Amino acid sequence: MPESELPRPEPRQHANPLDELAAIEASEPRRGRRWALWLLLLPIAAIVYPPLYNHRTPDLAGVPFFVWYQMLAVVFGGAVTGLVYWLRGREGLGRR
């Protein structure tokens, strides 16, 4: 059988996952406290601007400022993330 006579499969229509996500978001009521998400920029800003921490003094127990500032930034980032989670509530759980 020549190739031109073979039946061609119909092209599939794939649903766009972003369209499905938009439909889910549109169907659910908006939750408050979206402003809390802006708090997540604080730990990023604390690390992104090196002149804040680019020096050795003051040292803490012999550890240069740069090192303990970075350690403190990790703890601060975790605390801010926890705070945002608490403020936003557990809205992601139990959706389905």
Domain-wise residue ranges, the chain? 3-88
Q: State yes or no: pLDDT of 86 exceeds 90.
A: no
Q: State yes or no: pLDDT of 11 exceeds 80.
A: no
Mean pLDDT for the chain overall: 78
d(CA 84, CA 44): 14
Q: Any residues with CB less than 8 A from the CB of 57 and at least 6 apart, and which?
A: 64, 65
Report the pLDDT value the prediction gives residue 31, as an integer from 0 to 100: 60
Place of tokens 């369209």: 19
Q: State yes or no: pLDDT of 49 exceeds 80.
A: yes
d(CA 50, CA 67): 12
d(CA 73, CA 68): 8
